Amino acid sequence: MCRKANRISRENQSPIEDNRFKQPKKTRSETETAAALAFLLLVGVGIGDYFLSGLTGFAFDTVLSFGAAALLYLVTEELLVEAHETPETPLTTAMFFVGFVLLLLVEMLA
């Protein structure tokens, strides 16, 4: 009886009124947080451009390599869920970086 009543009530509802299609309303704090993060990103870009615009050669390569290493660490250790399924050791992290550097060197030489 209950299934029949649910089916009848769903048939009478339009898809717009159905709760399955409603988008959750964003609160003001979520919007403010997104705007603040976007603003901080622009501030960081401005600061980086101001201080790093004159770099050339080895210093520029050093800054870029540090940024690439930081992003690699973030991806391998924090974002990949599979990275935490097995016990992590410094050796596995080091081997990942060694493999990445070797692949990078092979690509540069080819």
Token output for 20: 């399955």
**pLDDT band (50, 70, 90) for residue 56:** confident
Question: Could you report the per-residue pLDDT of 34-48, keeping only the tens digit for each?
Answer: 999 999 999 998 998
- What single-letter DSSP state applies at residue 87? -
Residue with the larger pLDDT of the pair 48 and 20: 48
Q: Which of 66, 88, 65, 61 is nearest to 76 (CA)?
A: 88
The per-residue pLDDT of the chain, averaged, comes to: 77
Q: Domain range for residue 35?
A: 1-53
Task: Name the pTM for this structure.
Answer: 0.42
The residue out of 33, 53, 73 marking a domain boundary is 53
Shared domain check, 92 and 75: yes
Q: How confident is the model at residue 31 (pLDDT cuts 50, 70, 90)?
A: confident
DSSP assignment, residue 57?
H
Q: Give yes or no: residues 44 and 2 share one domain.
A: yes
